[in-house]
Amino acid sequence: MTGGILIVESSSAGRIMLKVKLAAACYACAHAATGAEALRLARQLRPDAILVDAALPDMEGAALCARMAADPATATIPAILLVPPGAEGLRVRALAAGAADVQAKPVNETLLLARLRSLARARADGLGAGAAAAAESGLAEGPADWAGGAAPGRDDTAPGRLAIVAGQPARALAWRRALAGPLGRAPEVMTREQVLADAGREVELYVIGADLARPGEGLQLASELLSRPATCHAAVCIVLPPADGPVPAETVAATALDLGAAEVLADPFPPEEAALRILAQLRRKRAADRLRAGVRAGLRMAVIDPLVGVYNRRYALHRLDLLAARAAETGRGLAVLLLDLDRFKAVNDSHGHAAGDAVLVAVAARLRAALRPADLFARIGGEEFLVALPDTAPGPGLAVAEALRRAVVSSPVLLPEGAGAVAVTVSIGMAWLGGEARAAGDAGARALQRADDALLTAKRRGRNQVVPGLAPA
């Protein structure tokens, strides 16, 4: 079985009851009667989640959660511990051991299914198998376990910026006092209006009452925050209304989870349990942030030349087409320069490839320093560079090309390990694209070919010079 739910329950009646509830929601189920069997099946079947009874014949359910969280093969599988009502100490131990959630028996079907949907969404966002795959491909630091296990060398237990939003100031202050001790710092108290106006600031986690000025207003606020670009990656914990309210707390909790809330808390909540849940969500959020950052960095590295740190050929040719299309549409000029280091092979032959690499890095730095941020700069061959200058007429384009040539020859390049220095020169060919090419779909490629022809002319004429091919490409 790939996916599905693993039920870990020694009682056959308990297994049947859970299987019936899950089968009605079209979940495939497997079961284990002991902790040891559960560990074996978790590694073998890779379920989407595991439901664990608090008391197993060979170990406590909390101990099973801890062993799963410590095993890389199962650390990304969320475990929900099922405990007797009122077992506060056991709930705390389970959360501290790595359980993704703790629910009281008999299980509320609506709340259980909502939690499973919430966990499934998080795994689809990359915090489960996706994180492990990203780590294997070099795009992340490693898998994030469901207890929020920190990557080595990181302090993911330190609270970030937390905000409390409640309907009444007295209730907000009570939540603040309850959380300040176990969290190690007091969260901020904010109004709904402040939260919405403050969306650009870095709040990592919001604790929001389900009911603010009116019933359900806190759920609307959470939905709004999770839909805004500035706050969509924040964690949201919803504090449920009193159990004797008009809507059952379990129904509100299920709605909150389905709206995207990361966690739900009772009111009043046990401070230590609430803090463990909040810290777990903070760690999970930070793991997701690292994963997103790793993917962004990986995508960036896919278009960056690893030696000189500028764009590579793959990116440059596509970007040149876009710049050419823009120039064709607007009638504004685009100057295209091809630069080739003169007699670069002699550097490698005389001083070695490490020296050649040092020359390329130094030349790229000199060229980049002489260009505008909007200019395209890329290494498209061994010692060949491409520069595209948007909104540039032929005269200014030639002036930039000459400035680039002078920047390269301004001083010898120092070689590594005190091996001396070498003088470097560059030949440059230029083409210009203007409004005459408005109907051409291959204007970028043709401009590049014209610049290449001009570069060959510069080489034939003795190198270390700029040759324009000024006829519109």
CB of 464 closer than 8 Å to CB of 425:
yes
**Could you give phi then psi for residue 258, rounded to 5 degrees?**
-70, -25
In a domain, 356, yes or no: yes
In sequence order, which ranges of 215-352 are alpha helices (DSSP H)?
A: 217-227, 249-259, 271-301, 313-330, 344-351
The overall average pLDDT reported for the chain is 89
Residue 232 lies in a domain: yes
What pLDDT does 406 receive? Answer: 97
HEC secondary structure over 185-253: CCCEECCHHHHHHCCCCCCCEEEEECCCCCCCHHHHHHHHHHHCCCCCCCEEEEECCCCCCCCCHHHHH
**Which of the listed ranges 22-26, 284-288, 401-405 does the model predict with the highest average pLDDT?**
401-405
329 and 262 belong to one structural domain: no
Residues 258 and 367 occupy one common structural domain: no
| pLDDT over 50 (residue 449) | yes
Q: What is the pLDDT of residues 37-63, one digit of tens each?
A: 999 999 999 999 999 999 999 999 999
Nearest to 50 by CA among 67, 36, 30: 30
The most distant pair of C-alpha atoms in the chain lies apart, rounded to whole Å, by: 91
The span from the CA of 16 to the CA of 36, in Å, is: 20
pLDDT of residue 200: 58
Q: How confident is the model at residue 440 (pLDDT cuts 50, 70, 90)?
A: low
Reported as half-sphere exposure (CB side, CA atoms, 13 A), residue 306 has a value of 5
Residue 437 is classified by DSSP as G
126 belongs to a structural domain: no
Which of 56, 87, 107 is at the close of a domain?
107
Q: Pick from 298, 295, 407, 315: which is nearest to 362 by CA?
A: 407
Q: Within a domain: residue 140?
A: no
pLDDT at 219: 97
CATH number, position 400: 3.30.70.270
Residue 138: inside a domain: no
Out of 241, 267, 297, pick the residue that ends a domain.
297
Please report how the helices 88-97 and 61-70 are oriented relative to each other, as an axis angle in degrees rounded to 10. Answer: 10
Q: Of 250, 383, 384, 417, which one is the catalytic site residue? A: 383
Q: Mark whether 291 and 439 lie in a shared domain.
A: no
Region 251-280: mean pLDDT is 95
Q: Do residues 95 and 221 share a domain?
A: no
> Does residue 102 contact residue 269 with C-beta atoms inside 8 Å?
no
Is a pLDDT exceeding 60 seen at residue 157?
no
Q: Which of 66-75, 196-205, 317-326, 347-356 has the lowest mean pLDDT?
A: 196-205
Same domain, 374 and 462: yes
Domain containing residue 244: CATH number: 3.40.50.2300
Domain co-membership, 355 together with 459:
yes
What tokens appear for 47 in the block? 């379920």
Specify whether 317 is located in the same domain as 465.
Answer: yes
Same domain, 461 and 404: yes
383 is catalytic: yes
Query: Model confidence at 88, in pLDDT bands (50, 70, 90)?
Result: confident
Q: Last residue of some domain: 107, 137, 154?
A: 107
CB of 189 closer than 8 Å to CB of 173: yes
Same domain, 326 and 293: no
For 62, the 3-state DSSP assignment is: helix
Cβ neighbours, 10 Å, residue 322: 12
d(CA 406, CA 3): 63
CA dihedral 369, 371, 374, 376 (to 10 degrees): -100
Query: Is the model's pTM score more than 0.75?
Result: no
Instruction: Specify whether 38 is located in the same domain as 170.
Output: no
Which two three-digit tokens encode residue 308? 């000189």
145 or 64, higher pLDDT: 64
**Both tokens of residue 77?**
């599988």
Give a yes or no: residue 129 inside a domain.
no
The pairs formed by 387-390 with CB atoms below 8 angstroms and a separation of 24 or more are: 387/336, 387/337, 387/339, 388/319, 388/320, 388/323, 388/334, 388/335, 388/336, 388/337, 389/334, 389/335, 389/336, 389/337, 390/323, 390/326, 390/327, 390/332, 390/334
pLDDT tens across 205-253, in order? Answer: 999 999 999 999 999 999 999 999 889 999 999 999 987 778 899 999 9
Instruction: Kindly state whether residues 189 and 333 are assigned to the same domain.
Output: no
303 falls within a domain: no
Task: Locate 394 and state its tokens.
Answer: 């032929």
Phi and psi at 193, nearest 5°, equal -65, -40
Which of 471, 452, 134, 459 lies closest to 317 in space, CA to CA? 452
- How far apart CA 19 and CA 421 sit, in angstroms, is 75
| Domain encompassing residue 348 | 313-469
For the sheet containing 188-189, what is the strand order? 188-189, 162-165, 205-209, 235-239, 263-265
Report if residue 137 sits inside a domain. no
Residues 169 and 100 in one domain: no
Q: Given pLDDT bands bounded at 50, 70 and 90, which one contains residue 396? A: very high
Report d(CA 450, CA 430) in Å as an integer. Answer: 8
Q: How confident is the model at residue 87 (pLDDT cuts 50, 70, 90)?
A: confident
Count how many domains the chain has.
Answer: 3
User: CA 372 to CA 365: how far, in whole Å?
Assistant: 13
